[in-house]
Structure 1
Amino acid sequence: MRDQKRGADEQPRRRGQGELETQVLAALRQASGPATAAWVQERLGGDLAYTTVMTILTRLHAKGAVARERAGRSFQWTPVADEAGLAALRMRRVLDAEADREAVLASFVTTLSPGDERLLRDLLAQAPGEGED
């Protein structure tokens, strides 16, 4: 009976893929300097286990999205990437996992809206060229 009467304001148990990473990164960006996992846990409302916060921070570190510095027996964490940077890291990881990069990129580009395609073309035109003739 209790499960049938979940409150409207009660949060779902499962979060979307990458949502926790985004929330942890946003909390770190609010810090005035390096922050501990306990500080991040508190900022996220405390409903997450400390070990979950540590797992997310460790994953973000492996992705290059945060830096860590030893502070006694634990670490202090600093954001290196913003939310857009984190999304770009995810996209890069997916691309790096595929054997046919050209096919993946071609498929991606064909699904872009005309406005996004123009934006991508503009960004590529502004990027420093590698091996230009």
Structure 2
Amino acid sequence: MRRLGELEAEIMDRFWRWRRAATVREIVDDINRHRDIAYTTVTTVTGILFHKGHLTRTREGRVWLYRAAATREAYAAALMEDGLDASEDRTAALARFVENLDADELAALRTALRDAERRTEG
């Protein structure tokens, strides 16, 4: 999975934070609270995000309602998976990644591993 571009990430951030469907107009209005951006630019990038599979959409009257296709966490996990795929030695890359985790992240990883083991055993 390719990393999101700057505007793509800015748009996706709103869907992930809002956790609801939204129109391009809502996105434009929110971005314009911080900086100026053209409606057509957001329409184009939102369409690209839809075609890449990051957004789903449904028609409501004359407008499209867009929604994030996956959570921010699922997106981050896909990026980590791609990072492992970039290595010739996934095990070494994973070990190196774990070396950089703090105590809280290591505890969360241990919990996730125990949960994964339980799911595969059950």
Instruction: State the TM-score bracket (shorter-chain normalisation).
Output: 0.5 to 0.7
- Greater relative CO (CA pairs within 8 A, separation 6+): 2
Matched, 1:30 2:15: no
Question: After superposition, where does 1:1-133 map in structure 2 within 5 Å?
Answer: 20-28=7-15, 29-30=17-18, 34-45=21-32, 47-53=36-42, 54-55=44-45, 58-59=48-49, 62=52, 64-69=53-58, 75-127=64-116, 128-130=118-120, 132=121
In 1, the alpha carbon distance for the partners of 2:87 and 2:41 equals: 29
- Segments of structure 1 that go 5 or more residues without pairing to the other structure are 1-16
State the superposition RMSD in angstroms.
Answer: 3.5
Scaled by the length of structure 2, the TM-score of the pair is 0.62
Indicate if the aligned counterparts of 2:8 and 2:45 stay in contact, CA closer than 8 A: no
Quote the sequence identity (%): 35
In 2, the alpha carbon distance for the partners of 1:109 and 1:20 equals: 30
Scaled by the length of structure 1, the TM-score of the pair is 0.59
- Segments of structure 2 that go 5 or more residues without pairing to the other structure are none
In 1, the alpha carbon distance for the partners of 2:40 and 2:88 equals: 35
Indicate if the aligned counterparts of 1:24 and 1:57 stay in contact, CA closer than 8 A: no
In 1, the alpha carbon distance for the partners of 2:97 and 2:114 equals: 18
